[in-house]
Amino acid sequence: MKRIMKPAAIMAVMLLTVALYGQSKEFKTGKSLDIQFSVLRELSLFYVDSVEIDKLVKKGTEAMLEALDPYTVYIPEENEEDLEMMTTGSYGGIGSIITKREGGIELSEVYENSPAHKAGLVAGDMLLRVDTAQTKYLSLDQCSARMKGVPGTTVSFLIKRLRTGIEEEISVLRERIHMPDVPYWGMISDTIGYIRITGFTVDGWKDVKNALVELKKNPELKRLVLDLRGNGGGLLDEAVNIVSLFVPSGTKVVSALGRFKQTDAVYFTKEEPVDLKLPLIVMVNSGSASSSEIVAGALQDLDRATIVGTRTFGKGLIQSIRDVGYNTKLKLTTAKYYTPSGRCVQAIDYSNRNEDGSVGYVADSLIKPFKTRLGRTVYDGGGIVPDVTISPRMYSRIAVSLIYADILRDYSVQYYKNNNSIGSVREFFLTDEAYNEFVDYAEGREFDHRTSSEVEFDKMVETAKREGLFEDFGDSIKDIESKVKLGKRGALIKNKEELKSLLEEEICSRYYFQRGRFEKMATNDEQLTKAVSVELIKTE
């Protein structure tokens, strides 16, 4: 006999179904955690060797987060200093970079006006002892940890001076070391101002504002370049404040949209502008990401600047820091950002992975057009596309090899040791005699001196031998070999002009710190030279 359920029973079943459906997500989470706990318990009790559960959990957590995106990461208590450095650009220490050498630790870089600088330390000085520890027995991380500390405390060194070779005991008072977001600004021609921005840390926008105010004191200023090349981003608020220097107060800069309403936000400029009319050029490249893309995208959408260079990285994801207990943190992606026109510049779709776990770029079919304030068409789906594309100079293979082998840097230290001064950055150029000295120096160092042509030639020879063709073309191959295999000295001479400019930048950094490096880079920069002469977009 067919039974008919009463309305009350039907309602009860429906409520139970809804309740079970609503709880299914929580049930799955609880089930997964229960299984994980059981696995850890079994490992702890019965695994053949002793198991450090805390390390296992940490590794498992990191692997779990890697499956989401590269920006969602677990920050253990011991890495909290790295988080502070990332957000504030500051740490407690003496203000230097170190490198491992035979017999000790060498100062590779000293920051301007840092405690190390005030104590008379220079790049090339050897640290033989830090407090009571002999540096030849320390790793770089161990030595760095001893040098860092609470501002106001002291650290003692036994050092060997670069220029005199004299060993000397000194004490250095640690300070709060801040890495400025603007390492260099100035006039790069009679009418063009330039501001290099390398980060977006707390109050970094004030560095940009101060530079802009100083540049505007020059009545001849006709254009301004904001250089964001290689700037991987930072704090979103700093990007908003930098845009505020050039647009009216209350202008929409960026929107953040996440899964939940509490993560949604719209950011408007709050600070009063410094200049609303000065023609702007914003330089970007594939290393410009995150906050750099917010600045470039907003100024492009608002038709306030001409974007020049190459397509940006395409990071349209926003991270937040969450406390997860026991002095540990979780940096997790909570939203995507959108430029004023509505574009999301995120290039990689982490939410839709391939079967092998890999991720792909946003499909061309999904890219949509948007309109700027004055009606120009711009697109989403993969970084900020410049208004004017200017490709950078590609460095030769030997230049990259010399940089990675620290040979350019090491020669600059030797040059600094033998020369007390070089004059101004703008007036310094490496003489042919000095370059020949560098060639002699580099020839005695180990590095891969092969040109790209030589690498490809070697591949061709191997293929010819494998296919039995080498003997047929032996004479021709030898003729090509005589032309492409230059040897160390030949390769150094062949790439003289390129290597000279790189050496000049390194040497200027020895005398004038990072400020000198970036100033010299600006004078040698072919892409920048082309950028300042482009036809600007209409802003009205």
Catalytic residues: 290, 301, 315
Q: How far apart are CA 290 and CA 199, in angstroms?
A: 11
Rg, Å, the chain Cα set: 29
Q: Is the dihedral of CA 378, 384, 388, 391 positive or negative?
A: negative
DSSP state of 123: T
Q: Is the dihedral of CA 527, 533, 535, 538 positive or negative?
A: positive
User: Is 527 within 8 Å of 283 (Cβ atoms)?
Assistant: yes
Q: How many CB atoms lie within 10 A of CB 449?
A: 22
User: Is 332 within 8 Å of 324 (Cβ atoms)?
Assistant: no
| Distance, C-alpha 367 to centroid of its chain | 27
Q: How far apart are CA 396 and CA 148, in angstroms?
A: 37
Q: How far apart are CA 507 and CA 414, in angstroms?
A: 9
User: Rounded to 10 degrees, what is the CA torsion of 183, 231, 218, 269?
Assistant: -120
Tokens of 106: 């060498």
Tokens of 156: 């003692």
Burial pattern 230-264, b for ≥16 Cβ within 10 A else e, equals ebbbbbbebbbbbbbbbbeeebbbbbbeeeeeeee
**Structural element, H or E, at residue 321:** strand 317-325
Tokens of 399: 């230049």
Q: Is the dihedral of CA 293, 297, 298, 299 positive or negative?
A: positive
Q: How far apart are CA 292 and CA 180, in angstroms?
A: 16
Burial pattern 111-144, b for ≥16 Cβ within 10 A else e, equals beebbbbebebbbbbbbbbbeeeebeebeeeebb
